[in-house]
Amino acid sequence: MLLIKSKYKIAKRLGAAVFEKTQTQKFALSEARTPPKKTRGGRGGGSDYGRQLLEKQRVRFTYGLSEKQLSKYAAVAFTEADPSTALHRALEMRADSVIYRAGFASTRRAARQIVSHGHITINGKRTTVPSYRVRVGDVIGVREGSRQSPLFTILSEKNEETLRSVPQWLKVDRNALHITVTNEPSYNSLESGLAYSTLFEFYSR
């Protein structure tokens, strides 16, 4: 699991969206009060290498990946006709990402723990691999022995207004604790906030 010492310092450099805990009004106000630093690799500009490095780090921290993991994902995606879409789908269709996107966990870190601790089944079979790649038609569920855990009993108590919106490629039944993958996620750089093409520039150097 990726260990992160100071999320606030990293978020100030890469942007608030990389961590759930920094996507708050308090952090936004703090950012607004802090004058931007004029550094060669800062978010405001700088060298091509600095821009590419920041985007690579932004993707890595957003999905909680190690350098080795991300480079492998990028290498495979680069062989596809549309590398950006291929990489986005590979990252979003990880088991931990699906658990997070469906609202079964408040953060991706929590989602990884839920999967690695064996609380999740895919098509009825228990998995402990957060990076497991789900496919269209797969049904992700909470195993019978974990259904009474506070991790999941609170889902039925939350109303729709307090739950994160679920992407259209997932169908969620919170009462049955089931997630069905109905489609593959599409990639839009504006919606995702991630420029994968810049990341590929970094790995192509």
Q: What is the CATH number of domain 92-181?
A: 3.10.290.10
Could you list the beta-strand ranges (E) of 137-177.
139-142, 170-173
**Cα 50 from Cα 5, distance rounded (Å):** 22
Whether the full predicted model's pTM is greater than 0.75, yes or no, is yes
**What is the pLDDT averaged over residues 31-44?**
47
18-32, 132-146, 173-187: segment of lowest average pLDDT: 18-32
Asked if 10 and 2 count as a contact pair (C-beta separation under 8 A), the reply is: no
Arithmetic mean of pLDDT over the chain: 82
What residues does each domain of the chain span?
1-50, 92-181
Q: At residue 50, what is the residue type?
A: G
**Cα 134 from Cα 71, distance rounded (Å):** 20
Percent of the chain predicted with pLDDT > 90 = 60
